[in-house]
Structure 1
């Protein structure tokens, strides 16, 4: 799955989205209140929203932008949606960015 560097840069050009992606790097540390395994399943959007202190619609838009850039993946479990970093694509993005500059 090729990563679009421009799309990824657009997604990261927002302090809140960048902070969400950074916190998802260590989900057990940053979201300890979650019941399911965050390394396997991801972090529930409601917990991300609570921690970020932003509205649900804003968080949804931010996570959609990160997902469109292929930097995170989502997984539905019942009525909840969980997000986690796509480490393979993040590494590919960093490599492509490094090769460009």
Structure 2
């Protein structure tokens, strides 16, 4: 089970909320050439472009979301593709509903 405090911290950023929202509807990234973003996830490069931030900053946001179990990552070659972890998100929502 994920650390609930870490999960809450992961959601304390407008940038991370935006990433989760975009990945909920990966059609924002249909121009991805490597594969269908619905199936393999979205390349960190495209997320970086959409945020218009430095790649290390975006990677840090993605890593916090991954550690919170809100994202999963798939490596293909040297590229990392991120998808929402619907099970982890649902689990957090359930916990939040039970405790608030």
**Unaligned ranges ≥5, structure 1:** none
Contact preservation (8 Å) 2:30, 2:36: no
Q: CA RMSD in A?
A: 0.8
If the length of structure 1 is used for normalisation, what is the TM-score? 0.94
Structure 1 runs (4+) greater than 2 angstroms displaced: none
The CA distance in 1 between the partners of 2:37 and 2:3, in whole Å, is: 26
Alignment: residue pair count: 99
SS at match of 1:98: helix
Report which structure shows greater RCO (CA 8 Å, sep ≥6).
1
**Aligned counterpart, 2:5:** 6
Gaps of 5+ in 2: none
- With structure 2 as the length reference, what TM-score do the two structures score? 0.95
Q: Hey, what does 1:83 align to over in structure 2?
A: 82
